[in-house]
Amino acid sequence: MAPIRRLVLDVLKPHSPSTVEFARQVSSASGVVGVNASLLETDREVQNIRLVVEGEAIDADEVEHRIESLGGTVHSIDEVVAGEEMVEPRDQPQDWLPP
C-alpha cells in the first residue's frame, strides 16, 4: 500500500491543551516528521485549526486517534498526498478566473 506523506486536516479543538501542545502530541504519531498548526478561528469554547501533517509513512488512524484523545474532532480531510513522492498542488485551467 502506498505511504501517506501529507495530511491537511480541519480540526475543532478545545482551548486546552494549547495549540503548541496539541501539535506536539500529534507530531509524535507513527510516521510523522512534522506538524504545522494554524489557528483559523476561535470562540468561547473551541478553536478551529488547520493541521498539516507530513512524514514518510503517516499512520492516519493514529493521527486521528491522538486528535480525539486531546478532545479534538476532525471536521474534514482537506488534502492527502500518498505515494513514493510528494506531489505539490498545481493550478488547473478550470481554476483560473477571467480578468
Cβ atoms of 87 and 6 closer than 8 Å:
no
pLDDT, position 86 = 75
pLDDT tens-place string over residues 1-14: 899 999 999 999 99
CA-to-CA distance for 5 and 58, rounded, in angstroms? Answer: 6
Grid cell for residue 8: 491537511
Grid cell for residue 63: 493521527
**Residue 78: partners with Cβ closer than 8 Å, 6 or more residues away:** 8, 9, 10, 50
Query: What pTM value is reported for the model?
Result: 0.85
CA-to-CA distance for 33 and 56, rounded, in angstroms? Answer: 7
